[in-house]
Amino acid sequence: MSDASNRLQDKFNNPIVQSEPGFFTNTEFYMTNGETWGSNENNPAYPDREYIIYWGYYYSQCVEHEELNFYLNYFDYIKNQIVPSNKDFASVNVLDDVIGGEGTTTVYCHTYKIFWGDFNPSSGGIE
């Protein structure tokens, strides 16, 4: 069984078009969750889940394909708003979070930990 956070992280970090080999230096990160971005009525699970990053109130929620695609489609927007223009996107960790409360006030959400830095291309071999 695959969790939505694992599937999203895999898709975000492994695009269909692969870049050249290399490594990152001067890396930094920023963490963000759904509340940061405000409500979006285009989420297929709206009004139960209203953000562009997963945010729900029930532990056993299943993310349908249409909703998963919604989060995939908004990732580039989120990434482009966070990563400084003079840096390169490196990777993202999609974390499962729980924000405590009782009953329906407990929030089950994803937090994106987005890394960026200075990309240094390499030939991939020993020089």
**Structural domain boundaries in the chain:** 4-12+24-116
Residue 14 CA to residue 89 CA, distance in Å, equals 12
pLDDT digits (tens, 9 = 90+) for 78-88: 999 999 999 99
> pLDDT grade, residue 119 (50/70/90)?
very high
* 116 within 8 A of 90, measured Cβ to Cβ: yes
3-state secondary structure of 20: coil
Q: What is the mean pLDDT of residues 5-13?
A: 92
Which residues face 23 on adjacent strands?
A: 120
Stated length of the chain: 127
Radius of gyration of the CA atoms of the chain, in A: 16
Residue 127 CA to residue 30 CA, distance in Å, equals 34
Query: Taking all residues of the chain, what is their mean pLDDT, rounded to a whole number?
Result: 89
